[in-house]
Amino acid sequence: MSRVGKYPVPIPQGVTATLAGKILTVKGKLGELKIETTDDVDTSVEDGKVWVKVKGTSKRARSQWGTTRATINNMVKGVSAGYSKTLDITGVGFKAAAQGKKLTLNLGFSHDVIYTVPEGIEVKTPAPTQIIVSGANRQKVGQVAAEIRSYKQPEPYKGKGIKYSDEFILRKEGKKK
């Protein structure tokens, strides 16, 4: 039995959830998110809670039960509080600057890396060596942060590169003479 799927998703004040056929729409102060539920689960909105119930006993149906509930919970939290990831840049001369929907990264290459920020995501640079990616969609926030990090992943000898703020880089010892 799913330990996640059997619990309802509470809807906080200021957030509305509506179900039209198989499409669940969640609106809040930070935006609007939609999900199309699968045929393996039944979704209903009752008494300020979203209930997800499994239809069959197949392995796929049972796995979709917990996954759908977790996705709906992430949507509700996203439109009410939002999600953010912080990236730190380490390295001499490495820096970032956000201008509108463009993020310019100077990472020691012969050219600047220009990243176009997708719709629904906000990127801020409070310091030249710090990037904050925020938005309502948890998956998009994580994907954008991973794409930015992939331009210059941290290396294990000096730790130069882009890393998550809560990430620990295991350092290696260099050559000895």
CA distances 145 to 17, 18, 70, 88, 122, Å, are: 28, 30, 21, 11, 11
Same domain, 101 and 45: no
Same domain, 61 and 97: no
Determine the pLDDT at residue 99.
93
**CA angle at residue 23 from 19 to 1, to 5 degrees?**
85
Determine the pLDDT at residue 92.
93
Tell me, yes or no, whether 71 lies in a domain: yes
Tell me, yes or no, whether 32 lies in a domain: yes
Same domain, 38 and 96: no
What digits encode the pLDDT tens for the residues 154-176? Answer: 999 998 999 999 999 999 998 88
- Closest by CA to 76, choosing from 40, 60, 52, is 52
What digits encode the pLDDT tens for the residues 4-50? Answer: 888 999 999 999 999 998 999 999 999 999 999 999 999 999 989 99
Q: Read off the pLDDT band of 2 (50, 70, 90).
A: low
Task: Check whether 100 has a pLDDT greater than 70.
Answer: yes
Tell me, yes or no, whether 171 lies in a domain: no
Which CATH number goes with the domain that contains 52? 3.90.930.12
Q: Tell me, what amino acid is at 24?
A: L
Q: Angle, nearest 10°, between helix axes 59-80 and 138-150? A: 90
Determine the pLDDT at residue 1.
56
User: Tokens 């997708």 identify what position?
Assistant: 118
d(CA 93, CA 20) in angstroms, rounded, equals: 52
Question: Dmax over Cα atoms in the chain, in whole Å?
Answer: 71
Same domain, 152 and 92: yes
Same domain, 66 and 91: no
Domain total for the chain?
Answer: 2
* Tokens linked to 115: 């990243």
d(CA 113, CA 148) in angstroms, rounded, equals: 10
Residue 44: give the domain boundaries: 9-80
* Tokens linked to 68: 């759908």
Same domain, 60 and 120: no
What digits encode the pLDDT tens for the residues 130-151? Answer: 999 999 999 999 999 999 999 9
What digits encode the pLDDT tens for the residues 38-83? Answer: 999 999 999 899 999 998 889 999 989 999 999 999 999 999 999 9
Domain boundary among 80, 107, 124: 80
Tell me, yes or no, whether 105 lies in a domain: yes
